[in-house]
Amino acid sequence: MTERQFRMLEIEIARYRLLERQVTDPLAAGLIHVIILELEADLQQNREPGQRLAKATRTENCPSRS
């Protein structure tokens, strides 16, 4: 994975996190959370060993988990 692809995936994850915080429907929030987890898994799997990954899976901020 190139640095550009890595960065674009991080941006996509950030957008989904923002959407997850804004959505009011619990089902939608849960589905968005699953998408975030899958994207983070892709990011973790494809990153180079020297690259750093900020762990940002925050289930306590997920409205469907309240």
Return phi, psi of residue 55, to 5°: -75, 115
pLDDT in tens, 22-57: 999 999 999 999 999 999 998 888 875 555 545 444
The pLDDT of residue 60 is above 90: no
Q: Are 51 and 31 in contact (CB under 8 A)?
A: no
Q: Are 54 and 44 in contact (CB under 8 A)?
A: no
